[in-house]
Every structure is written in structure tokens, then in C-alpha cells.
Chain A
Amino acid sequence: MTADGNFAPAALQGSRPAEACAPELPVLVERGQHEVFCGLTGIIWLHRKIQDAFFLVVGSRTCAHLIQSAAGVMIFAEPRFATAIIEDRDLAGLADMNDELDKVVGRLLERRPEIKLLFLVGSCPSEVIKLDLSRAAQRLSSLHAPRVRVLSYSGSGIETTFTQGEDACLAALVPQMPAETSASPRSLLVVGCLADVVEDQFRRLFAELGVGPVHFLPPRSSGELPPVGPQTHLLLAQPFLAETARLLENRGARRLAAPFPLGIEGTTAWLAVAARAFGIDPLRFDAVTGPKIERARRALQRYRKELEGKSVFFFPDSQLEIPLARLLARELGMELAEVGTPYLHRRHMAPELALLPMGTFLSQGQHLDRQLDRCRAARPDLVVCGLGLANPLEAEGLTTKWSIELLFSPVQGYEQAGDLAELFARPLRRRAKLARLAEAPARAEPVRILAAGE
């Protein structure tokens, strides 16, 4: 957001497509140990969203262990995910493995009659032994039709990093989406898993703007897959959806280039792009967004005081790093020490890159030890990183924000702008509160019984 709050009309009038103005920021591309989750992790939020879907990982004990470690307590809430663990005797004969899989799926569907959509989720082991899950999905689909539809995608670590699992999942849904009819009106398709509360906020906003009909992918129920075709305007809500977007574009959808709806500026620009595509009057846009921008700005103000001038270092994790860095730099006044991303999709990221401060240090991929060296040398005020790194870095005296929370909490849109800033401010505030204890005990003023001093 520019200081005068003028961004929205500018975006509406913007003569150049945003992509063209993306500076060719240099990127350090690294290869080495990656400290990241694999795409299986996406199951944790995807299964909450699509309420009649079940995710069956075909993998090893490692895969099962990963999901349970990442899902923590959720695993006990009758989760709609599980692992079919490949065993030694399965490896002996691939043909039997398909039989085994059919049996496992049969048993599962018997136990969970409410399931309408089953995803077979590929893992590293299933990919390496070339177990053909898409064929298995077809076979099982015809076996269990019409009650259950069976699809497949890969969430393996060799192919996907963390949020790319969602991309792979949504991409598997694209061929299932009905085609637009010739009578279909121009429509907006918002793609990317959003918390229900955020989705509802956006629905209301688009309705107020007069943008519609609006559909969301993924839908809350597998029976509500939205139509797609040349009348579909595609608006990405998440930055990690390269493959899904490609398939939707192949089906005729037109992608609207926009920054991602994080922070006031991102949300405004994101809405503005849709508004422009639907020919909405800029005055109406301002009238609708103005009060919400005002409210969000009030929410952000106090965080700006806490965060301004502080430096932040992003380890690669979710591909949300660049939009988050943009938000922290432009709306909260933070300095960017390094912005690491597991993967940089230049085209989708172009509007974001255009907004990054000049000279931002971007890195893609990872060589963990070297990146840790850089991080220690930079001594940033805040490090955004995964759970495997957070405590060790804290113990070294750095302050960290663990990144997976950014995926599990509602962070998009105006009403969440303050909450999002809070996620970054809280670790710093906590460190300040505990500073006395952390530093030499002698420095602290002893707490005295007041009566003693009388």
C-alpha cells in the first residue's frame, strides 16, 4: 500500500501488465541438503477443506510417520487420511501390490461409507518402484463407481516440496471439473486452499464489488467442482499452484496476474485485478474496499511500531516467502536479509517481485549448511524457518518464527492482516519480555517484598 492509500485505483488503471515490469532480480540457486517437508504434508489442511474426501498415501512407514508428526493432535479427530504401508512382500511382486491396494481400498471404503472422493497419494517409495497409481485410480474408480471417485497425485519428496502437494492435488481435480456450457457467464475462479472464514470473507467482498459468479477450488465438497472454460477468470490465492494453473489455462481459463492477497496492499491489488476484469467502476471498488482497508490499517499500525527497522531472514519452505517478505518490507517496514524460496515460478511471482525492494537477496533451493552460515553472519532480528531449525537457532540467540503456522492459520485478506503481522511480532515481543532471564542474572533487579523496604 502506498502511503496515500492510492494503490487500488492505480492498479485498476495500470496500463502495463504487471509481469512486464518485474525486475530481473538475481537469484542465488543452490543445491544441497533441503530442510523441507514433502508434499504429503498438504494432506493435513486439504482433508479439512474437502470434507468428503479421503487421502490414502501409498508409501512407507516413513510417510505415515511424517504425517503423524506434522499433524500432531489432528490425527485423533477421525482423520480422513491414512497410509497403505508397503511391506517387504509387496516389493517382491508388483502385480500382487495392485491386488493388495485394491483390498486396502475396499476395506477402507467399507469402514468410511461417507467418503465420496478418494485420493491415492503417491510417495517416494511408490514413485521409485513405479507403482502406477493413476492406473490404479482408474481401476478403483470403475470398481467403486458411482459411489466413490478415485483420483491420484504425487506428494513425494522427490517431486514435491511441502505446499506443492496442494498443487498436485488440485491439478488432479482439474480434469474432473465440468466444462462451461455455451451459456455460461463470465466467472471468477479463486484457486488455492483458504480457511473457510477467509473464503467467506472473499465471497462477501466479491459480491459487494459485483464480481461474480465466484467459485473456489478446492470446493468444500467433492460434488461442487466448479465449471471451467474460456469464460473463467482464474485468480490464484496461493503462490504455489503452477501445475494447477497450467492445466486450468489449458482448459481455456484466463489467469489474472496479481500479487497474492497477503496484507492490505496484496489483498487490494488482488481484488482490483478481478474487479478490473469484471469491469467494475473504480469508485465502487474504493467504496467497498475503503472502510476495510482503513480497518486493516488500524490493525497493522501497532505492529508496524514493533517491526519497523527489524531485519528478517526467510528459509525456504512454502513459496509464501516472497509475498510475505513483500508485506513485511512494504507495510511493516522490515528489512529483508534473505528471502529463500523452495521454488520460484517467475511468471506467477512477477507482480510480487515487482513490489520487492530493490536489491532484495533471493535464493532458490537450498544448501542448508551454507544458508545457516549466511543466516548466522547476517544476525537477523527474526528468522522464518521450519520446526527442525527453530529451536536450534533460538538456542544460538536468534529469534524465530516457525513457518508451518503460516499455512495452518487464516492469514489472507483484510481482516487477517493484523493477525498475520501478529505472528511475526509475537516472537520478538516474547524475546523482549524474557530478555532479563536470558541475559546475565546479575543484571536483573531483584523482585523484593515491598513491605521489607518500608
Chain B
Amino acid sequence: MQLTLWTYEGPPHVGAMRVATALKDVHYVLHAPQGDTYADLLFTMIERRDRRPPVTYTTFQARDLGGDTAELFKEAARDAVARFKPAALLVGASCTGELIQDDPGGLARALNLPIPVIPLELPSYQKKENWGAAETFYQTVRALAGPSAPQPGRPRPAPADGPRPSCNILGPTALGFRHRDDVAEVVKLLGTLGIRVAVVAPMGAAADDIARLGEADFNVVLYPELALSAAQWLKRTFGQPFTTVVPIGTGATRDFIAEVCGLAGIPVPPGLEEGAARAPWYSRSVDSTYLTGKRVFIFGDGTHAVAAARIATEELGFEVVGLGTYSREMAREVRAAAGRLGIEALITDDYLEVEAKVAELAPELVLGTQMERHIAKRLGVPCAVISAPVHVQDFPARYSPQMGFEGANVIFDSWVHPLMMGLEEHLLGMFREDFEFNDGAAPSHLGPGSKVPAAVARATVPAIIPAANDPAPAGPSGWTLEAERELQKIPFFVRGKARRNTERFAQERGVALITVETLYDAKAHFGR
């Protein structure tokens, strides 16, 4: 039994729903108790879908348990096929359905439906959402593309539509972090390389599209957590190689291009980055110098965490002090990435452990999921979201991919933004001690709701108008008049920090009276 306050991933049948909802004409009949329909709202609210997910729940209740829940399931499946006329039917059980052991697969087969039935075995007490999505996608691909597999030993037939290389894009689902725009960006990128995209799946694919997955030359695996098992099967069955680099970040995008061109047998066209890649220059511009060595903590799904670590170190000049993931399926990759950085990976799905780690490492920036955002908020550290699970605001209306060159631009902005804000907040905090300070101002990212309480601001501001009348409470150690005067020569926006540092320094060393010497000793001690 695991004590859980917050889960990074839902149960595996939610993963199955993500695939079903991504597909076009596939319906999912889920043997589940009344109440499990809550999952619909993830799609209709967080992703703001304009239609219900294509899922029918049997919604059995206690009074049904004595009777024939199997019959209930059959009825639901029959009705769903009649009403929605899908091209294929996924059937399975949620965690409770699993316990009552009705065998949805067998029951659905007994109905002799006129469409393919894909039974899903999703062990709810072992596995989680991403695994459920990957397994569902894999089973769907196997069931629908399997019949067109070539005889063992026979070579792949020549591509039907001439010499132009083609690929499928595998992995984007419903409720995926920026999947919508990543697909658009990668399709565009492949287009500029002269590669045709045959099928994108599961997002937007119909059952027919899945059936012809085997026709492309190779596969692009966008999200390994979700698509790797399907890609491996396609490789075994159709001999299609697949990509192993996820194009998040400028460097990774370059590597991805090289890999894709290799698989397509074409040279890398020149000038791809022109006009598209602004992030590398922004990062080199002197304005970004202050980013150097910023200590960053990274947590998320495996793919996004590994990608973020590379961007952070190679492209932004940060120092990665912590790296981790909640996806055990990707633990190896994340451990390897952490190893390259000389740190130990944090593999956990307990957000309290993550919180403890963030508190311990005291990073200057946290990159994570919405949970890390809250952790960061609580600890007062700037933060940006890099991975699911995310809330509604991370399904934005505007174009915001993570992948490709535009993705790198988006990432540059969204990571640096909270830091700029952080700096702004810091400055404002300092300005507060200056007579020009306007008490209505608060760090802009905290929003209008978080104004400096007017009463507090009013109480402090007038008191500090005479510069010598510093409102900071007298420290444990006193200041000599001379040292106090020296302190006033320090620019006001770092004065507070200097005072705090000096006092801490004095206290640690048992210095009772702070002199000018103590001030400069402390400066030398704390200076970078």
C-alpha cells in the first residue's frame, strides 16, 4: 500500500482513453463503476475538447454486482457500436472492473461485432497512465496493421508512391503536453527536408490510417513513453527503423535532422535554421550572461526531463543540480543523463520526495510539472513547466511547440521569463527600501491578486524616507556608525542583501560589532 497525496500519472485506463480520444473512429468500452466517468473532464476541461471522449462506461453499481455485470458489459458494447458506428472497438476494464473478472475481451468477441475488437489488458495495480497509453497504442497498431504484415522472410515491397522518402509520426495523444503543436512543428520540419509524412498516430488517425502504417519507410518516435513499443513492433514486423532522438532543443533538433536524413537516405539540406532558430543567438546575447551557472532543478516525464537537462547545460549555460523523473519506464535514460552531469537521478512518483529534494538543493530555477510549480511557489523559487501533468493553462490557445527550432524559441522564452521575473521581483524587493518605491508595485508574475498588502507597504515606506532610518530590524550584531555609512554607499538594490549577508557573517563568527572591515570581509566571503 502506498500513501499518496498527489499522483503524477493516472491509472492505465486513462492512458487508454488518451489513445482512444486521439484516434478518429475508434470507440472504447470500459468496464468501470459509476464514478469513473470523472476522467471525461480531463479531456473536456483541461484540454478543452469540444466533444466527449469516445468512451462508454458500463457504470456498474453495487446492486449489479450480485447479478450479471457481464451482460451489462455486452449491452454497453452492443449499444456503443450501434450508436457511434466506430471502425474498431477497444474494450477493457478499469481497476474495479479488473477485480470483478468479467473478461471484456472474451465478452466482446462473443458478440460477433462487425468490426475489429481490441482487448486491452491493463494491470491497474501495477502500471500507470503512460504505460496504459503505450500498451493501448501498441495493441491497436498490432490489431489493425498486423493483417497487412508481409510474410516472414519476404522483403518490404517498394514504396507505392515513388522515390520520395516517407515516415510516420508516432506518439502524440490526447492530453499530451504540447503534442498538438509539436506535431505541427515536426511535420513542417520534415516537409522542409523533403520527407513525406504518411500517418500521424494516434493523434488524428483513423483505423484505416493505422492499417497502413507499414507502408512508410521509417518511423519518427516523438514520445518514447507512448510510442516505443509500437515502433519496436513495426520494426520487427515491417522492418521500419525508427528515430531515437527527440527533437527538443536546438542541439537535439540538429541531431534529429541528421538522424532522419540518415534514415531517409538524403543529405541534410543547408540553411534550415535561418530565420527559424532565434534561441541560440538570444542565448549568446550579452543580456543572457546573467544566466550563466544558474542552478536548476529538473523533474518531469523521462523524455522532457532528459531533453531539458541538455538544453539547460549546453544551450543556456545553467548548472543542473537535480534531475529526476516519475516515469519508471524511463529511469535508465534519466539515470544516464544524470550520470553525464555528475549527479544522481531522482526516480520517484512521490511529490513530497521531490519537494524535499528541491528544498535541499535550493536551486535558482525549477523546471517541472505543475506539481513542481506549486512546490516552487511555496519555496519562492522561479519555475517553468516542461512536462505533463499540467493544468489548463498549459494547453494554450497560441502556437507553442516544444520541439524543433520554434520549440527551442518557445522554451527560451518560457524558461527565462520567470527568471527575469525573479530578477524583477528581487529588484522590487530592494526598491521597497527606497523612497521612490511605489507601494502598489508587486512582482508582475504574481498577478494582480498578490499586491503588496497596502497596509504593510504604507507602514514601511514612510519610515524609510530618511536614508539612515533603515527599517530593517537591528541585527543580532550592532553596526558601527562608519560601517553603517559605508553600507549606504552600496547601491540600494543590493544594500539589503549586503546587510543580511554581513550580519549573517558576523553572527556566524561571533563578531559583536560590525565594522567596515567586517563588511568587506563578508563581501569577500559571499562574493561569487
Contact across chains for B99 and A103 when beta carbons are under 8 A apart: no
Nearest CB in chain B: distance from A323 CB, A: 23
CA distance A107 to B4 in the complex (A): 12
Contacts of A38 in B (CB 8 A): 33-36, 38
Beta-carbon contacts under 8 Å, B236-289 to A: none
Q: Count residues on chain A whose CB falls below 8 Å from chain B CBs.
A: 61
Contact with A along B69-111 (1 / 0, CB 8 A): 0000000100100010000000000111001100000000000
Which of B121-129, B142-150, B403-411 binds A? B121-129
Of A88, A128, A386, which one neighbours B41 at CB under 8 angstroms?
A386
CA distance A147 to B2 in the complex (A): 24
Contact across chains for A128 and B6 when beta carbons are under 8 A apart: no
Contact with B along A390-401 (1 / 0, CB 8 A): 111011000000
Q: Which residue of A lies closest to B62 (CB)?
A: A158
Contact across chains for A66 and B35 when beta carbons are under 8 A apart: yes
Contact across chains for B35 and A391 when beta carbons are under 8 A apart: no
Q: Which residue of B lies closest to A38 (CB)?
A: B35
Nearest CB in chain A: distance from B61 CB, A: 5
Nearest CB in chain A: distance from B270 CB, A: 43
Contact across chains for B38 and A125 when beta carbons are under 8 A apart: no
Beta-carbon contacts under 8 Å, B1-47 to A: 1-7, 9-11, 13-14, 33-42, 44-45
CA distance A15 to B4 in the complex (A): 55
Query: Is B218 located at the chain interface by the 8 A CB criterion?
Result: no
Nearest CB in chain B: distance from A257 CB, A: 28
Contact across chains for A37 and B38 when beta carbons are under 8 A apart: yes
Q: Which residue of A lies closest to B76 (CB)?
A: A33
Q: A61-B7, A388-B44, A392-B49 are in contact. Are A85 and B1 (CB under 8 A)?
A: yes
Of B35, B38, B56, B128, which one neighbours A124 at CB under 8 angstroms?
B35
Contacts of A40 in B (CB 8 A): 35
CA distance A103 to B33 in the complex (A): 28
Contact across chains for B125 and A157 when beta carbons are under 8 A apart: no
Contact across chains for A388 and B40 when beta carbons are under 8 A apart: yes
Contacts of A250 in B (CB 8 A): none
Of A75, A100, A156, A391, which one neighbours B33 at CB under 8 angstroms?
A156
Contact across chains for A389 and B65 when beta carbons are under 8 A apart: no
Contact across chains for A390 and B44 when beta carbons are under 8 A apart: yes
Question: Besides the contacts A33-B37, A64-B6, what 13 more A-B pairs have beta carbons closer than 8 Å?
Answer: A34-B37, A38-B36, A61-B11, A62-B36, A62-B95, A82-B5, A85-B3, A91-B125, A101-B1, A128-B65, A369-B83, A392-B52, A395-B50
Task: List A residues at the B interface (Cβ < 8 Å).
Answer: 32-41, 58, 60-62, 64-66, 68-70, 72, 75-76, 79, 81-88, 90-91, 97, 100-101, 103-104, 107-108, 124-125, 127-129, 156-159, 161, 369, 386-392, 394-395
Of B76, B124, B378, which one neighbours A61 at CB under 8 angstroms?
B124
Contact across chains for B40 and A33 when beta carbons are under 8 A apart: no
Question: Which 5 pairs across A and B sit closest by C-beta, in order of nearness?
Answer: A157-B35, A38-B35, A388-B40, A395-B50, A124-B96
| B interface SS class | mixed
Contact with A along B402-431 (1 / 0, CB 8 A): 000000000000000000000000000000
Contact across chains for A84 and B3 when beta carbons are under 8 A apart: yes
Contact across chains for A62 and B124 when beta carbons are under 8 A apart: yes
Q: Which residue of B lies closest to A155 (CB)?
A: B35
Contact across chains for A34 and B34 when beta carbons are under 8 A apart: yes
Contact across chains for A87 and B4 when beta carbons are under 8 A apart: no
Contact across chains for A33 and B125 when beta carbons are under 8 A apart: no
Query: Is B479 located at the chain interface by the 8 A CB criterion?
Result: no
Among A35, A100, A108, A390, the most chain B Cβ lie within 10 Å of the Cβ of A35
Contacts of B95 in A (CB 8 A): 60-62, 124-125
Contacts of A65 in B (CB 8 A): 7, 10-11, 14, 39
Nearest CB in chain B: distance from A75 CB, A: 6
Contact across chains for B41 and A387 when beta carbons are under 8 A apart: yes
Q: Which residue of B lies closest to A159 (CB)?
A: B62
Q: Which residue of B lies closest to A161 (CB)?
A: B34
Contacts of A158 in B (CB 8 A): 33-35, 60-62, 64-65, 96
CA distance A69 to B392 in the complex (A): 12
Contacts of B6 in A (CB 8 A): 64, 68, 75-76
Q: Which residue of B lies closest to A59 (CB)?
A: B95
Contacts of B391 in A (CB 8 A): 72
Contact across chains for A86 and B125 when beta carbons are under 8 A apart: yes
Contact across chains for A391 and B44 when beta carbons are under 8 A apart: yes
CA distance A242 to B69 in the complex (A): 27
